[in-house]
Amino acid sequence: MTSQDIFKQIVNKKSFLCVGLDSEFDKIPSCLKQTNDPVFAFNKSIVDATAKYTIAYKPNLAFYESLGISGWQSLEKTVNYIKENYPEIFLIADAKRGDIGNTSKMYAQAFFEKLPFDAVTVAPYMGEDSVSPFLSYPGKFVILLALTSNKGANDFQFLTNPEGEKLFEKVLKTSQYWANSDQMMYVVGATRAEMLADVRKLVPNHFLLVPGVGAQGGSLSEVAKFGMNKECGLIVNSSRAIIFADNTEKFAERAEEEARKVQLEMEILLKEHHII
Amino acid sequence: MTSQDIFKQIVNKKSFLCVGLDSEFDKIPSCLKQTNDPVFAFNKSIVDATAKYTIAYKPNLAFYESLGISGWQSLEKTVNYIKENYPEIFLIADAKRGDIGNTSKMYAQAFFEKLPFDAVTVAPYMGEDSVSPFLSYPGKFVILLALTSNKGANDFQFLTNPEGEKLFEKVLKTSQYWANSDQMMYVVGATRAEMLADVRKLVPNHFLLVPGVGAQGGSLSEVAKFGMNKECGLIVNSSRAIIFADNTEKFAERAEEEARKVQLEMEILLKEHHII
């Protein structure tokens, strides 16, 4: 998949929404708990209900790993189902991996060969050789953590060198030597929307994956104001606020309504910014 | 498990060796490829051959994830086998996870509840709330990345603030407010043994997990010279140099020889440093 393919989807669907499949077992509606694979049944219903408003899905690996082997089975079925039925949709493994070269190569195999993901989130701490094995797959993306949306982001990401450069800025600058915007994106949290303006100066063309809208409190219009570029350049994630909007038999219907609401907001913002 | 339990093992076995179970499928001896689960058969043989010289095993998650569901089955069988047969041995999930709080909580469940690991390696980039969920399990350890052994370590880990403090030093200092040496250890690469002296000034009492001895080129005596404290304070990992010492039917015998060689070197160093 290319950046242009993602942009086409944004224009067609009038949306830059990513739905995070943080499918926590305990929160899955009880009406699904008797099925053979409740996590997959839940994901399938959520995907079928929201796909027309959604340009990307982002399973959060932790929620599957926490269930052991059955979790990996649910994950595999989910991503294969999405790829088969909605091949245009961008599929992100939210895994935050990163290790020495020979190990990152194995993680890349896990997500890009064994599973049909289009992108994987990667932590930058170990530097270039921890990231580059993911870049040897044409049409696949690394989404590198830059500025995250959590409180702990303050612990290290703002460490500043004597020239005034912060760690997250150094990550943005240095990693551009590793890959261009057709293989690299960045995670930039929505709870710091005003920081998106600084980020955009450093990476004008790259897509930014923005978590933290919805349950984590970020504002969509602020994100668009500071982060949008000529080809949108934003993939905004919402997880719990959509997938767990309701826990009755109407969960999928309610998820659809929530996704539709966000899509309508996005449509207005895309028009305001003259993208559609 | 406590630091004292680990120290007792070091004294009893006259060793501070961790064997890394980077059990890459393609490198597993062909004589095992016809078995039902070659990865588990390989790990079981390696563990049985090396356990008397080894205080810790460290499966590298990437090598299991790259095989999909069957890889997770092999991992689960391996760690359960080790816990049942060698309960004194420290079991490390080399996973390098780290995400926002509700997600790290799920990773902690994966490694500390679903699987019987004693410790997990964690990346520090996202700060305190990405680490603290792993710390809510008494007797379990976080092993935080500080200074890694790979070339890419130079990209960000040495970023220096105006007071001369480097990122990895800030990680070592800040994280001591999160947990003491009974719940926290640090990854410090052996290819920079002289840096261990600086690390020891900041964390005199913590165990350090030192990768990079063997295939990655670090020297054991240098590591001991700069990194050992009164209770050893070192867990030195070797992976490929031991587990893939041979690929014939004698692989386990040869792995045992290699582990024994390292243990003998360690015994001399422990005596030189008056620990045994």
Q: Which position among A83, A96, A166, A250 bears the catalytic label?
A: A96
Amino acid A192: pLDDT:
74
Amino acid B165: pLDDT:
95
- B98 in Cβ contact with A121 (< 8 Å): no
Amino acid B214: pLDDT:
65
Q: For residue A147, list chain B residues with Cβ-Cβ distance below 8 A.
A: none
Q: Do B151 and A162 touch (CB under 8 A)?
A: no
Q: Do A150 and B130 touch (CB under 8 A)?
A: yes
Amino acid A269: pLDDT:
96
Amino acid B194: pLDDT:
81
Q: Do B66 and A110 touch (CB under 8 A)?
A: yes
Cα A253 to the center of its chain, rounded Å: 23
Q: Do A128 and B106 touch (CB under 8 A)?
A: no
- Classify domain B3-272 at the CATH class level: alpha beta
Each residue of A47-77: pLDDT tens digit? 999 999 999 999 999 999 999 999 999 999 9
pLDDT tens for chain A, 276 residues: list them.
999 999 999 999 999 999 999 999 999 999 999 999 999 999 999 999 999 999 999 999 999 999 999 999 999 999 999 999 999 999 999 999 999 999 999 999 999 999 999 999 999 999 999 999 999 999 999 999 999 989 999 999 999 999 999 999 999 999 999 999 999 999 998 777 888 999 999 999 999 999 977 655 568 999 999 999 999 999 999 999 999 999 999 999 999 999 999 999 999 999 999 999
Q: What is the nearest CA distance from B184 to chain A, expressed in angstroms? A: 17
Low-confidence ranges of chain B (pLDDT < 70): 214-218
Residue of B126, B157, B162 with shortest CB distance to A162: B162
**Cα end-to-end distance, chain A, whole Å:** 21
Amino acid B190: pLDDT:
79
B137 phi, psi to nearest 5 deg: -115, 100
Q: Do A130 and B150 touch (CB under 8 A)?
A: yes
Query: In whole angstroms, what is the distance from residue B163 CA to residue A26 CA?
Result: 47
User: What positions of B carry a catalytic annotation?
Assistant: 96
Q: For residue A74, list chain B residues with Cβ-Cβ distance below 8 A.
A: none
Amino acid B217: pLDDT:
59
Q: Do A68 and B96 touch (CB under 8 A)?
A: no
Q: For residue B162, list chain A residues with Cβ-Cβ distance below 8 A.
A: 160-162
Pairing of the two strands B119-122 and B141-147: parallel
Q: For residue A157, list chain B residues with Cβ-Cβ distance below 8 A.
A: 125, 127
Query: In whole angstroms, what is the distance from residue A61 CA to residue B109 CA?
Result: 12
Q: Return the residue in B99, B114, B121 with the most chain A beta carbons within 10 A, the one to mutate for interface testing.
A: B99
Q: For residue B107, list chain A residues with Cβ-Cβ distance below 8 A.
A: 62, 65-66
Question: Is the torsion defined by CA of A92, A96, A100, A102 positive or negative?
Answer: negative
Ramachandran area for residue A58 (φ above 0: left; ψ -120 to 50: alpha; else beta) = beta
- A60 in Cβ contact with A187 (< 8 Å): no
Q: Return the residue in B128, B156, B171 with the most chain A beta carbons within 10 A, the one to mutate for interface testing.
A: B156
Q: Where are the domains of chain B?
A: 3-272
Q: What is the nearest CA distance from A272 to chain B, expressed in angstroms? A: 32
- A58 in Cβ contact with A92 (< 8 Å): yes
Q: What is the nearest CA distance from B272 to chain A, expressed in angstroms? A: 32
Amino acid A190: pLDDT:
79
Residue of A94, A145, A216 with shortest CB distance to B125: A145
> Looking at chain B, which residue has its C-alpha nearest residue A111?
B66
